[in-house]
Structure 1
Amino acid sequence: MTSTTDRLAIAIVTFNRSALLAELLDSAARLETQPFRVVVVDNASTDDTPAIIESYRDRFADGVLVNHRLDINTGGAGGFSEGTRVALDHGAEWVWLMDDDVEILPEALERFAPWMERFAVLHGRRYDVDGSPFFWQAKFNQFLGVPLPYTSKAFNPEGYAITNSGTFEGMLIRADIVRRIGLPDPRFFISWDDAVYAWLASRYTQVAYVDAFVLKRKREQRQINLGLRHLNDSSPLAKYHVMRNRAYVGRYFAEHGQLNRVGFALGTALTFAKEVFRLVAVERSLKGVGVLVKGWRDGRTIWRDRSWRPMPALSTSPGTGEN
């Protein structure tokens, strides 16, 4: 008897965090229902990541673990684009996308299974590092072009909420939706890529956030709890791209006739203000302001690029690849 999880591939993107990756692979190997594939995209790590991946090969059935190493670091966006492609090439019907700093709960696939009968794009819930519930709830405000948080009360009596945003720390997407909207856009490098990808999917199907815990966050970060959301520290690279990539968000919105230029400009200003608040409240510094400004300015080049096109749909269904 077949199940919705029978051809589910887990796509993991990793870069120089072998200890965290080992914990994640250990949790994947202990799942009550084994995944169809575990695709690890190594973003040109310079630590012992390749050896760690190979050390887990015997923990999975033959051919399940796929070690896909890239020649250069393409960022999370490039890694998830490649991971999705490889998973579909191997014949996956679902792709579960996740960073290397989470742990999969043993019953995760069983908890997802009934929801997979109903929705084509899913997010489950996560525990924070300390074991408390980590609230990720975000929905794009179409006028501002920014995802705004909502509370756990947004779950309806059936245990789910419909959204139009997403995160690659646990997005589960069906292969036919990937073929329709294309692969995740590697040009983002990091930041906004997952939110836009779920937004694109929401143009064709419902994107659901379900009240089922499936992951636990493992990486400790400086953060403050604002009630409606947690605000973590971020790297200079992330600061730069969170502002630069606003231009990519706007280009996708415009492509689908959903861009309100006045509202989007206001949303960009609010994003800048949020990032400055992050610097002051979480990182106790203003040193990153210049990086934010540079990212905002560099986004203008993307706006002016007449050759820009969105990621294309996958015109043909990928075939089953070799292990």
Structure 2
Amino acid sequence: METVCAVIVTYNRLEMLKECIDALLKQTYTLDGIIIINNNSTDGTKEYLDDVVKENKKIQAIHLDENVGGAGGFHVGVKEAFERGYDWIWIMDDDAEPRTDCLKILMDFVYRHKDVGFVAPLIVNKYSGKIQNYHHKRLNRTLTRDIPISLEFIDSQKVIELDANAFVGPLISKAAVETVGFPRHDFFIWLDDTEYTYRIKQKTNSFLITDAVIFHKDGIAPIDSIRNFWKVCYGLRNRSLWINSELRGVNLFIGHLCLLLEFIRLSLWIMLKMKWKHNRILGLKYLIRTLFCSYRRISGRFIDPSEYLRTLR
């Protein structure tokens, strides 16, 4: 039997974390380990995990001294699991809840097929029951457009080849990690999952297994596009870093042109939309900072989310 370790990254969502751990412990394919990366939570997560670790020897908690973002958390978690020698690393955020047979279905597939870099379960919204097909992706040649696998294709196929996938349940082989390394910690948040799974896909085979289901507990409230604008900035900067590291020649030129057009579109959105009327200067300030960091190839944390939210009107 090949060994499997789950890696969870958590930040201030204790109740969801408890449900995620419970779902992992109920898997019909028994996990060999669970590593939880606590991104400096302040809601009692540390105290809870310290008790859980004492009760279950399979569970390990790593408490970080600062919030290094989802990207930093997954870098730490994948590296820890890899160095402990697990054959497969199953990664997810704390708002994921795999169905009890999810891991067994994924492992049944990898036992039957060679040269698999990662396999991903179908992501379904826990509250609406809708398939989140936008998390299962193909990419255009300039890496500027994520193309969701269509719902019709998902309905008709058991196995679908992917270019990339969200960090909501992909099962990654040790061999893939040996080949491509770890997730990029310098992205902080957003696009780290797409970049990493795409990197794996360039070296080996990657699939969506539609019979395996993982529930995703997001989308409870409508998305506030202004409050979440700092994440959009990270997404733009990270995509710029990514295409610079991945592309050459004409594709790189076109990729930069597409990103520049996106900056222009967002500038017009900030200047013209009424929802931005009290925060136009703030939005443009952060967009200019993003443009500067993108084209100077400045990685790491460049926006403090709490500072951005605090200055919103």
Q: Same fold (TM over 0.5)?
A: yes
Q: Against the structure 1 CA distance between its residues 149 and 219, is the aligned structure 2 distance closer, same or farther, given a 3 Å change threshold?
A: closer
Q: Against the structure 1 CA distance between its residues 217 and 164, is the aligned structure 2 distance closer, same or farther, given a 3 Å change threshold?
A: same
Distance 2:243 2:233 in 1: 16
Q: Which amino acid aligns with 1:120?
A: G
Do the aligned partners of 2:243 and 2:255 also contact (CA within 8 Å) in 1?
A: no
Q: Against the structure 1 CA distance between its residues 234 and 129, is the aligned structure 2 distance closer, same or farther, given a 3 Å change threshold?
A: farther
What residue is the counterpart of 1:115 in the other structure?
109
Cα shift at 1:170: 1.6
Cα shift at 1:164: 1.1
Cα shift at 1:59: 5.9
Identity %: 21
Is 1:133 aligned to 2:130, yes or no?
yes
What residue is the counterpart of 2:179 in the other structure?
180
TM-score normalised to the size of structure 2?
Answer: 0.81
Cα shift at 1:238: 1.3
- Select 1:106's aligned residue among 100, 103, 118: 100
Is 1:97 aligned to 2:91, yes or no?
yes
- Select 1:238's aligned residue among 231, 242, 253: 231
Distance 1:276 1:128 in 2: 32
Q: Deviations over 1:135-173 (max 9, x none)?
A: 223211113522122312334965121121221122211
Q: Against the structure 1 CA distance between its residues 260 and 240, is the aligned structure 2 distance closer, same or farther, given a 3 Å change threshold?
A: closer
- Secondary structure of 2:196's counterpart equals helix
Do the aligned partners of 2:38 and 2:61 also contact (CA within 8 Å) in 1?
A: yes
Is 1:55 aligned to 2:64, yes or no?
no
Is 1:16 aligned to 2:8, yes or no?
no
What residue is the counterpart of 1:318 in the other structure?
none
- Select 1:252's aligned residue among 234, 242, 245: 245
Distance 1:150 1:272 in 2: 28
Do the aligned partners of 1:223 and 1:233 also contact (CA within 8 Å) in 2?
A: no
Do the aligned partners of 1:222 and 1:232 also contact (CA within 8 Å) in 2?
A: no
TM-score normalised to the size of structure 1?
Answer: 0.78
Q: Against the structure 1 CA distance between its residues 110 and 257, is the aligned structure 2 distance closer, same or farther, given a 3 Å change threshold?
A: farther
Q: Which amino acid aligns with 1:19?
A: E
- Secondary structure of 1:80's counterpart equals helix
What residue is the counterpart of 1:261 in the other structure?
253
Q: Which has the higher helix share?
A: 2
Query: For this pair of structures, how many residues does the alignment match?
Result: 291
Cα shift at 1:223: 4.6
Do the aligned partners of 2:236 and 2:259 also contact (CA within 8 Å) in 1?
A: no
Distance 1:59 1:105 in 2: 23
Q: Against the structure 1 CA distance between its residues 85 and 144, is the aligned structure 2 distance closer, same or farther, given a 3 Å change threshold?
A: closer
Is 1:294 aligned to 2:290, yes or no?
no
- Secondary structure of 1:82's counterpart equals helix
Do the aligned partners of 2:233 and 2:290 also contact (CA within 8 Å) in 1?
A: no
